[in-house]
Every structure is written in C-alpha cells, then in structure tokens.
A and B are shown apart, each in its own frame.
Chain A
Amino acid sequence: MTSSVQRSLPTDEAHELLGLTRELATTELAPRAAADERAGRFPRAVFTTLGRAGLLGLPYPEEHGGGGQPFEVYLQVVEELAGAWLSVGLGVSVHTLACFPLAAYGTDAQRDQWLPGMLGGELLGAYCLSEPHSGSDAAALATRAVLDGDDYVVSGTKAWITHGGVADFYDLMVRTSDDRTRGITCLLAEAGTPGLSAAPPERKMGLTASVTAQVLLDGARVPAARRIGAEGQGFAIALAALDGGRLGIAACAVGLAQAALDAAVGYARERRQFGRPVAEHQGLTFLLADMATQVAAARALYLDAARLRDAGRPFGTAAAMAKLFATDAAMRVTTDAVQVLGGYGYVEDYQVERYLREAKLLQIVEGTNQIQRLVIGRALT
C-alpha cells in the first residue's frame, strides 16, 4: 500500500479520487495479487470493477465519458494501483494508452461513436506496435494492410501485446506503404474481427497475471472507417501515444518501488538482530534512506513531466527522463528491499522477491531504457 505517501494534488476532487482508488486497491487488488500472480490468473473482473468506478478513462474529456482529470492526477491513481498490484496498474496504463489515438487523432464522428464505450469501463484496450523482428526499431514493422473496397486487409504478427486475446479493441500499427516512417497507419480494430486472433500467452518471469501474447493477423478485414488519422500518420500517432504511456510506466515504477520500500521499512522495524531492530543498525538505516530518496525523486520527476503535459508544453524528453529514472530506481529499490529482508526476502512468503522480478519489466517496456537515453540524448545534441 502507498497510503504513507503525502500527495500534492490540485483539487478536492482529486483527493476524493485518490481516496476511492486507495479503497479499491486495499479491498479489491491487494488481497488477491499474490495468489493470482502465482496462478497466472488474469483478473478481468477487477478491471470491470475499476471501470465501473470510473478509473479506465481518467485523463480524457468528460463529454466522451472520461474523468476529465489532468495527467498529474491520473498518474497518481496509476501509482496507487501499481503499488497494490503491478499487473493491474500496468493494465490500466496500457488501456489508457490504447484510448489515446482515437481521443487525440480521431474525427469527431469517430470519437462520438467509439470513445464513450472505450472510456466507459466495460471495455479493455490493447496497443499493438511491436513485432517479433521490430522492437526498439519500431518503424521497421512489417504487418501489411492493403485497402480492398471499404476495408483494409491486414496480415502479419504483432508481438508482446499486453491484453492480447483478452482485449476488446486493438490499436494496430500497420504498414500501408514502404516509406519507413510515413508508410505506417493506425487502425482501431475490434476483438472478434475475423482473421484477428491471439497466440498462447508468453510465460514471463513476472506479471504473470497480466496477459502478454502475440496478436496474429491473417487477412483480417478492418473497415477503412476505423482508420485513425491519415494514411501514413500512424507512426507519429504511435510515438505521441508512447510519450504519455511512458509516464504511465514511470508511475507504475514509483508505485512498485513505494510498495517495496514500505515492506522493507515494516520488516526492518520488527526484525531484531544484535539486540535491536535491524532498522536501527545504521548500515541498514542508510540503505532505507537511499531507497526512500529514490522513490521520492522518481515521483517528483514524473509529476514534473505530467505538469508540463497538462500545461500543453512539450514533455517528451521529460517523460523519457521520468521513465528512465523511475524504472531504474524501481529496480534498485526492489533489489535492496530483498536485501533488507535477508533470507526472508528471497522466498515467496514475502512479496519483495516478486517485486524484484516485476521491476525488471519496467526497464524494458514502452522503449527500453537504452532507447530513453537515445531520446534524451537526441534532444541535447
């Protein structure tokens, strides 16, 4: 739980929202996280509960059924959810990312038609950019879409798709011409589209309750009316979506790191060696102090980037920095949390070994931390 956190929030409304989020995190997420992770059980019903509470469309306009919240507030909700259960926090972040192309680039008619459903809480989204042979080099994607009458006919394989096979809608980044970046187009496909299916889920070292699977496209017919933006605009849309998505990952990392810190502090106050709580041995106190500082710095960094975004200022570099710093911090803090618990940290009875396995993912998704450095470096040079 991240209830120990003093939050700076812009409105009373945001305080209420965080209160509701904590209630849901405590009662609906935390009690089942460990068991569902162990069993590799995807908690679809939990997303429905969050959706009905209004948590699956927070940073989008109220006129389309969203929560009308600034990113600064939305991300702190994600942080709280991730602190209770990373698979769910990440899932909410990915769903919110998947709503972005339509919300930001759709026509008014498209938004009126589909956005209320996507933000309404009953549906779950997936974002399909990566492919088996194009990860960091996303523009090398090869999934083809050919216009045939009123439909695009799509063939290829999308890889590593969060919610692949369990999502209700899929953002598909597909190739419509050979121009490397300007030949990519964004389609919004419905689950159940004939020719769209999912491979068996990947077997991961963490986030086993979150489904990750290849999405297979075998002559799938997606109506041209479901194209978001212009033909060839897809790569720009995908990258713009990722700027916000990376902040979601940063918030997840902070939630996870805070949970690890709280577990470590709680344990270190109780566990006695050499006649006193291990927390009082300065060697360990300093370790805890460094962990807490990392978490606070990571939170400050993602909030700073979020506030730039909320003010309508460029925030891509700040988002890359936040993602890089927060996820590296989460890796370090979760590793140190295991150290604080000693042997008890290494066994499944305590959650910190799981946190460590989960943290690793955050350094990889939505642009590896090498790619974040590339983005930051480019802005400097």
Chain B
Amino acid sequence: MNIVVCVKQVPDSWAEKKLNPSDSTLDRDSVDAVMNELDEYAVEEALVLQEAHGGEVTILTMGPEKAGETIRKALSMGADKGVHVVDAGLHGSDAVATSAVLAKALGTLEWDLVIFGIESTDARMSVVPAMVAERLGSPQLSFATKVDVADSTVTIQRQTEYGFDTVEAKTPAVVSVVEKINEPRYPSFKGIMAAKKKPVTTLTLADLGLGADEVGLAGSWSAVDEFAARPPRQAGSVVKDEGDGGVKIAEYLAGQKFI
C-alpha cells in the first residue's frame, strides 16, 4: 500500500509571529521553522500503516526552499522519499490555491491513501484535506482518531463531540488525523543519516502544468486587506471571596456568556 503524507513547514507555534507590511503574508524569516506538529501524527500513522501493510511512504510538501528541511525530518522518521513543490509563484497561496497545487502533485504519484494532519498551526483552517479530496474526486475521511485498512477499504473513527463515528470508504482515499491518534516517534540517529541518501524530487509550477494566475496571491480566492497587532492581554480580574465568591464567579461567567 502506497501512502503520501502532506506536510507543511510552519513557524514555530510558540514563537511571536509577524506579517510582512508589504503584502500581508507571514514573515517567515523572523521565526524558526518547524514541521507543523499536527503533521507529525500523519507521518507516524503512515509509518505504522506501512509497518503493517508494506508499500512506500512519500512525503509531499509545498513551500520555499527551506521547507525541504521538513521533508528531511519526515524521511529521518522513516518515510521513503520526498516530493517538494517549490516555485516563487507560490508565494501567498491561500487554502484554495494550495489545494490546487497539492492535488496536481498528487496526480503525478501512485497512492492508495493520502494522509494529512488535521490543520496547520499557522493557518488553522482544517480545510485543505477536504479541498484536495474534492479536487481529486476521492472520498475523504477526516478527523480520524483511528485508521484501519483491509482489502482496499479504509475505516476510520471520526472524532465527534459525543464520541466517534465510524466512516468507511474504498481506497484510494484522503484521510486527515487528529493528535489523539498516536504518539509520533523521534527520528533516530541512524534514521537521520539514512535520510540524507533518500530521494527528494522537486517540482515547479510548470512541471505541474499550473499557470501563475492559478496560484500565489493572484490565484487566491481570499485576500488580507488589513491587519493589526493583537491588543495586549487584559489584566485578569480578581474575585475576593467574602463568602460570596461562588456567586461572583457565576455572575462573571454568565456576563461572558460562558454559562
């Protein structure tokens, strides 16, 4: 069974992020870049499935040159090869444009499953897996807390507010996984060394047959018109308990519409 895992390089989630004043895109140079943490679960799940079913795990990323580091990290965890879509024209792509690129790239690969993390920690929309599935005409099984594959059928437990739904589809299919699904492994020292020798193919927009107007800022359906720094956090209010602390807290929570 061949699996493609889509991963994204993001600014370190704990770092203070800035936007470029000129085009309202993220200033990637000002912060450390890491593999989107939620994608680590997707890589882990692919490796676990590969251990059970064999086949190859391919890592697909779209992003600037530096995003190649994220492919290497996944390869050092144990994936077999990488595909990197890199092109200056991609700068500023929104979710719709990104899904177009990923779908095209997936069209050049052989796979039974595509696995995504549930969202990226920088954009936090959770829509790319669905958009890609739609473009590919593949079934999508999202928010998985468990994935099983048997005889060309993929079955997941889909996390819901009340527990889980069981969702089933024929492969090829697109799956997105949530953090609960597993505990991602660390790369091993040997894995890091082996990763240096694994193949990574780069693809440009031209290779994918995409025009400059279909991606990047030009091809995006959404645009950022203006932005402002988040106001500093308000000082908390201290409730002094004079026998009526519970009531005061309840009033506060009701005032904030929490209860």
Enumerate chain A interface residues (CB-CB to B < 8 A): 13, 16-17, 20, 23-24, 49, 52-55, 58, 67
- With a cutoff of 8 Å between Cβ atoms, the chain A residues found around residue B191 in the complex are 54
- With a cutoff of 8 Å between Cβ atoms, the chain A residues found around residue B189 in the complex are 16-17, 20, 53-55, 58, 67
- With a cutoff of 8 Å between Cβ atoms, the chain A residues found around residue B193 in the complex are 13, 16
- With a cutoff of 8 Å between Cβ atoms, the chain B residues found around residue A49 in the complex are 186
* CB of A46 to closest CB in B, whole Å: 12
Is A23 a contact partner of B192 (Cβ separation < 8 A)?
A: no
- With a cutoff of 8 Å between Cβ atoms, the chain B residues found around residue A58 in the complex are 189
* CB of A126 to closest CB in B, whole Å: 24
Tell me if B188 is interfacial: C-beta within 8 Å of chain A. Answer: yes
- With a cutoff of 8 Å between Cβ atoms, the chain A residues found around residue B186 in the complex are 20, 23-24, 49, 52-53
* CB of A335 to closest CB in B, whole Å: 34
- CB-CB nearest in chain A for B191: A54
Tell me if B198 is interfacial: C-beta within 8 Å of chain A. Answer: no
Tell me if B64 is interfacial: C-beta within 8 Å of chain A. Answer: no
Q: Considering only CB atoms and an 8 Å cut-off, how many residues of chain B contact the other chain?
A: 9
Tell me if B187 is interfacial: C-beta within 8 Å of chain A. Answer: yes
- With a cutoff of 8 Å between Cβ atoms, the chain B residues found around residue A54 in the complex are 188-191
Is B192 a contact partner of A20 (Cβ separation < 8 A)?
A: yes
* CB of A119 to closest CB in B, whole Å: 12
- With a cutoff of 8 Å between Cβ atoms, the chain B residues found around residue A16 in the complex are 189, 192-193
A53 to B188, CA, bound (A): 4
- With a cutoff of 8 Å between Cβ atoms, the chain B residues found around residue A24 in the complex are 186
Is A20 a contact partner of B185 (Cβ separation < 8 A)?
A: no
- With a cutoff of 8 Å between Cβ atoms, the chain B residues found around residue A20 in the complex are 186-187, 189, 192
Interface residues of B in 177-196 (CB under 8 A from A): 185-193
- With a cutoff of 8 Å between Cβ atoms, the chain A residues found around residue B185 in the complex are 52
What is the number of contacts between chain A and chain B, taking CB atoms within 8 Å? 28
A23 to B185, CA, bound (A): 12
* CB of A80 to closest CB in B, whole Å: 13
A17 to B193, CA, bound (A): 9
* CB of B238 to closest CB in A, whole Å: 23
A17 to B186, CA, bound (A): 12
* CB of B77 to closest CB in A, whole Å: 11
- CB-CB nearest in chain A for B72: A16
- CB-CB nearest in chain B for A54: B189
- With a cutoff of 8 Å between Cβ atoms, the chain A residues found around residue B187 in the complex are 20, 53
- With a cutoff of 8 Å between Cβ atoms, the chain A residues found around residue B192 in the complex are 16-17, 20
- CB-CB nearest in chain B for A77: B189
A132 to B6, CA, bound (A): 59
- CB-CB nearest in chain B for A121: B188
Contact sample, A vs B, 21 pairs, CB 8 Å cutoff: A13-B193, A16-B189, A16-B192, A16-B193, A17-B189, A20-B186, A20-B189, A20-B192, A49-B186, A52-B185, A52-B186, A53-B186, A53-B187, A53-B188, A53-B189, A54-B188, A54-B189, A54-B190, A54-B191, A55-B189, A58-B189
* CB of A313 to closest CB in B, whole Å: 27
Interface residues of B in 147-198 (CB under 8 A from A): 185-193
A111 to B257, CA, bound (A): 69
- CB-CB nearest in chain B for A67: B189
A257 to B61, CA, bound (A): 42
A13 to B189, CA, bound (A): 9
* CB of A302 to closest CB in B, whole Å: 21
9 nearest interchain CB pairs?
A: A54-B189, A54-B188, A16-B192, A53-B188, A53-B186, A54-B190, A17-B189, A67-B189, A20-B189
* CB of A27 to closest CB in B, whole Å: 8
A67 to B189, CA, bound (A): 8
* CB of B56 to closest CB in A, whole Å: 22
A58 to B193, CA, bound (A): 14
* CB of B51 to closest CB in A, whole Å: 14
- CB-CB nearest in chain B for A24: B186
Binary interface profile of B, 89-106, with partner A (CB < 8 Å = 1, else 0)?
000000000000000000
A54 to B187, CA, bound (A): 9
- CB-CB nearest in chain A for B190: A54
* CB of A60 to closest CB in B, whole Å: 13
- With a cutoff of 8 Å between Cβ atoms, the chain B residues found around residue A13 in the complex are 193
* CB of B195 to closest CB in A, whole Å: 9
* CB of B183 to closest CB in A, whole Å: 10
Other A-B contacts than A49-B186, A53-B186, 7 sampled, CB-CB below 8 A, are: A16-B189, A17-B189, A20-B192, A53-B187, A53-B189, A54-B189, A55-B189
